[in-house]
Amino acid sequence: MEGGKMVDPERSTELLWGRRPGRGLTLERIVRTAIELADAGGLAAVSMRRIAERLGFTTMALYRHVPGKAELIDLMRDEVIGEAEEIRPQEGWRAEVEAWARAQLAFYRRHPWMIESPGARRVPGPNAVAAFEWALETVSRTGLPPTEVVAVVTMVGTFVESAARQVVETELAERRTGVSEQEWWGARDSLYAHLDRYPTLNRIYLDGGYDAPLDPFEFGLQRVLDGIEVLVRDETGDERRDESRCVVCGEAVAAAATGRPRDYCSRACRQRAYRKRKG
């Protein structure tokens, strides 16, 4: 729902996947103008009236191309996703995922309004699907089963979006007020006067815990990657593998009555593993 209007996913799909270039007033021009407005003033600055005024057309002329703001935001999201910088080949999956995460953070900083437009239950466009395909292919090279590949991609994307929200909100506040984050917190003496009643917080503060704070994005990203690396080692057998799970899909595997543990939950997964080895 956007501005009280329920998004029509079928109409969004038609618009996202069926656009064609044209002359005069086109869907592409409408979308690019909306992005310019959003980059300058957030989603609140985007309206069909303002877009029409900037393009020199009537508002009704816009509605012949896009039914409303909700569908327009779907188009805006996919357009800017297509602008994301290409990730150069790196040495190993970890370096590539790290580069992808950094590129995603830079993307949110270029288009802060994306934080205002969560992706839950939004129909993905071709650019979003292409980005997802790249991430899946990269993580697939770890050898993790498909369910965990999807989970890893989702986890990294969720972490970056959460970290980007903090970064974007801080930068917007600094631009709006002209006061840096450090200056704002440095002026909170009236708050600090009450904190000596919290012994752990007070001890950590006195021991220098806030003297040179770690970058939340950098620290968090490395810990996320560390966790994935442990999972990869476990699944690929460098250390250990969960023998109760299928090595292909991650589903539970019935315990073998005798002999070595089963690797696959079904004949279909066994065949998929065989075809992958042959390929």
∠ Cα 92 134 252 (to 5°): 80
Is residue 50 over pLDDT 70?
A: yes
- The reply to whether the predicted model has a pTM over 0.85 is no
**Mean pLDDT within 51-60:** 93
> What is the number of other CB atoms lying within 10 angstroms of the CB of residue 76?
26
- The phi, psi pair for 252, rounded to 5°, reads -65, 145
Least confident span in 16-25, 55-64, 100-109, 122-131: 16-25
pLDDT in tens, 70-83: 899 999 999 999 88
CA distance 77 to 108: 11
Delimit the CATH 1.10.357.10 region(s) of the chain: 93-241
| Mean per-residue pLDDT of the chain | 84
Residue at 120: amino acid letter:
A
Q: Which residues pair with 252 in a beta bridge?
A: 245
Q: What is the DSSP string of 165-232?
A: HHHHHHHHHHHHHS--HHHHHHT-HHHHTTGGG-HHHHHHHHTTTTTSPPPHHHHHHHHHHHHHHHHH
Can you tell me the distance from the alpha carbon of 212 to that of 245, in angstroms, rounded to the nearest whole number? 44
Q: Are 247 and 265 in contact (CB under 8 A)?
A: no
| Percent above pLDDT 90 for the chain | 49
Confidence band (pLDDT; 50, 70, 90) for 45?
very high
Helix crossing, 126-140 with 146-177: angle to 10°?
120
Q: What is the CATH number of domain 9-81?
A: 1.10.10.60
> CA 82, CA 99: separation in Å to the nearest integer?
17
Contact 134, 87 (CB under 8 A): yes
H or E stretch including 70?
helix 69-81
Tokens matching residue 100: 């992808």
Query: pLDDT by residue (tens digit) across 178-231?
Result: 999 889 988 988 988 888 899 999 899 888 888 888 899 999 999 999 999 999
pLDDT recorded at residue 241: 44
pLDDT of residue 165: 92
Maximum separation of any 2 CA atoms in the chain, in Å? 77
- Which residue shows structure tokens 């996947």? 17
Residues of the chain with CATH 1.10.10.60: 9-81
Of 170, 162, 168, which is closest to residue 109 (Cα–Cα)? 168
Count CB-CB contacts under 10 A for residue 169: 12
Architecture in CATH of 93-241 = Orthogonal Bundle (1.10)
Lowest pLDDT segment from 63-77, 86-100, 156-170, 238-252:
238-252
Q: Is 39's pLDDT higher than 90?
A: yes
